[in-house]
Amino acid sequence: MSSEALDSVLARTSNVLLDFDGPICSVFSHFTPMAVAKELRTRLDGIDAPETNEPFELLNYVAQEGLSAASAVEAELAQLEIEAVSTATPTSGATEVLRYFADAGRRVVVVSNNSASAIDVYLRKHALGSYVAGVSARTKPDPGLLKPNPHLLHDAVALLRAEPSTCVMVGDSLTDIDAARAAGCPAIGYANKPGKRERFAVVEPTAIIDHMTDLLRQERTRQ
């Protein structure tokens, strides 16, 4: 994909909807998804949960039992995510990009399936709060409201009082791109692992980057 696609999408947008896990930090870098899922399973008293290393799969599964069961699991998952972000590895270049967006007048809303409480904890810990206009993340037990559903993006766009076409979603998952499309927002795929560039090509994001600092370089050329 050409860098013109990246130039072009940044030139016609003024707001950024930024995914958390991937673009800002690696949430489960030390407290691994496997360990989180294992701990979560031990807290699912009386629920016959499937064997999985994915905490969100457990939430999805329990949500099928009803929202009151999901509510308890969501609360436990949020606590585990708060624990996880205390040791999460920051993404290389993320702070620099957030600072530069703020200086350039680009407003950023963090849009994430992770718990809003955990994101607040991380932003405070790393003194990043002043660089973001808001957080639109998981506050409810219903996993159906999470990406790829556009719900969190709709809330972020409303918070910015902006048009969706002026808000570019930056995320490292196919669900980020799908949610952006459903919300009417352009999307930049962050290919942070081998093979992701190829996987992104299937969902056709507006542009693809390999490093967060690719955004910074484009931002500089915009000046």
Residue type, 102: A
Among 16, 18, 22, 85, binds Mg ion (CB under 5 A): 22
Task: Give the pairing of strands 134-138 and 25-26.
Answer: unpaired
Smaller CB separation from Mg ion, 46 or 195: 195
Member of 172, 179, 200, 214 binding Mg ion (CB under 5 A): 172
Q: How far apart are CA 118 and CA 5, in angstroms?
A: 33
Does position 178 interact with Mg ion (CB under 5 A)? The reply is no
Distance between CA 132 and CA 15 in Å, rounded? 11
Asked whether the beta carbons of 172 and 17 are under 8 A apart, the reply is no
Min dist CB 2 to Mg ion, Å, is 24
Q: How many residues sit close enough to Mg ion to count as binding (CB under 5 A)?
A: 5
Among 16, 18, 21, 117, binds Mg ion (CB under 5 A): 21
Return all residues near 43 (Cβ < 8 A) that are at least 6 apart. 73, 76
Contacting range for Mg ion; rule: CB under 5 A; set: 16-24, 74-82, 94-102, 120-128: 16-24
Nearer to Mg ion, 18 or 37 (CB): 18
Asked whether position 19 contacts Mg ion by CB under 5 A, the answer is yes
Span from 14-22, 101-109, 119-127, 140-148 in contact with Mg ion (CB under 5 A): 14-22
The amino acid that residue 212 corresponds to is M
Tokens of residue 76, six digits: 């436990």
Q: Where are the alpha helices (DSSP H) in 64-115?
A: 67-85, 94-103
Which stretches of the chain bind Mg ion, using CB under 5 A? 19, 21-22, 172-173
